[in-house]
Amino acid sequence: MLTLISFVVTLGILIAVHEYGHYRVAVACGIKVLKFSIGFGKPLYTWRLKNNSTEFSIGMLPLGGYVKMLDEREAPVDPSERHLAFNTQPLKSRAAVVAAGPVANLLLAVMLYSVVNWSGVQEPKAVLASPVANSLAEQAGLRGGETVQQAAFDNDAPETVRSFEDLRWRMTQGALDGRDLRLVMGSDAGTTLQTVVLPLSKLEAVDPDSQLFRRIGILGPWTQPSIGETMPGSAAQKSGLKAGDVVVRIGETAIVDGQQLREVIRASAQGADSTAAPQNWQIQRNGQPLALQVTPEVNKEGGVPVARIGAYVGALPAFVTVRYGPLEGLWGGVVRTWEVSALTLKMMGKMVIGESSLKNLSGPLTIADYAGKSATMGWTAYLVFLALVSVSLGVLNLLPLPVLDGGHLMYYLWEWVTGRGVSDAWMDRLQRGGVAILLGMMCIALFNDVTRLVG
């Protein structure tokens, strides 16, 4: 139920803001708006504002909306109102009305990111877990436990890294842009210890998936290598492990953090027979050293044997409150909206030329799933999700595809360059092509949704 409510609220907010952008600019340009609708189909509720001729309504299907303006191309217009029709307006006014919807979504994203920045959010500290073996991070000299104070691309000036999520975002940008990331390590007191360069340009990354961070070698923040709750009858319980035990060593391997502990356990599966040999564990229990023998259980995941002990491995990371001042928070919202927009366009471009998988396209089912999950994580997580989808909606509508706002702007660009509008015949052809492309994208997105949820 929460997923459904969150999904409807998400769509309602994004559609209302988008259509209100069209409506507000149309009114400002002196255009008569006949109807403002959120949703399609049979109206569930209709009303009019005082001294306003516009009919407002909420439709039965909340998968879109529209603003219907007075227009000679759609119905006869009384000569006395011809100056209020959309089609009689100057080019700059028509372009402004069309662009206002996507721009409104982008401005909403700026506002949402700013609110999150101002209110503050709990995020893991930028303390690095032990790197994946043979990864870029390990080759760069990282060993785990380092605190990242600053980061910069190539020769840019270093900027403060406020949290691990901040660092993860920079790594994503660097990997997809092919730019090396310079990390400045230091203690919490601010003393600089070392500078390390992650050569992200070597990755030739195309998708920001989980395997990308495995190749980089930084999967998460540092956590204490402790044991949490154990499952009844599991390998952990049979070996005598208890919640609160801190793992110091497994065999000859010294354990640095929870990430390394999970990797060592997973890698203990031996060959095709899917077994794991007994391991000698050195642990600390209530400050006292203790030796135990643990034999992980092995299961196949995707045809690959993976060892587990049947317990929660690794404690929660240390958290820090990330909060910005009024101007800094607003500028941070602008920057994040710009960065997410650029990344969205980059990924779309890579999908068009075949450098990125079409599996990255998401549809309503994935949005609904993420809406529900983010809502359960708290209002700040939901606002970040809402901002992300708002950016995606704004960018998508600005694409030069007929039937989208960007397609209409493309027509106006042609009119501005040539001095004449697109002919009705070409308009019909382009609209048909745009609908076909849009339907194809929707089918792919829906297929990806079903595959993700079923898988």
Residues β-bridged to residue 307: 298
* Cα 10 from chain centre: 15
Closest CA to 361 of 448, 263, 254, 261: 448
Reply yes or no on whether 301 is catalytic: no
Q: How far, in Å, CA of 161 to CA of 153, rounded?
A: 13
For residue 105, give both structure tokens: 């979504």
C-alpha–C-alpha distance, residues 318 and 258, integer Å: 13
Task: Please tell me the distance from the alpha carbon of residue 384 to that of residue 109, in angstroms, as a whole number.
Answer: 8
Residue 304 in 3-state DSSP?
strand
What is d(CA 443, CA 273) in angstroms, rounded to the nearest whole number? Answer: 42
Q: Which residue has the tokens 């001294």?
A: 51
| Separation CA 405–CA 74 (nearest Å) | 18
What distance in Å separates the CA atoms of residue 51 and residue 41, rounded to the nearest whole number?
26
**Amino acid symbol at 373:** K
Give 304's strand partners.
Answer: 301
For the chain, what is the radius of gyration of the CA atoms? 27
Question: Residue for token digits 């690794």?
Answer: 314
- Which residues are part of the catalytic machinery? 19
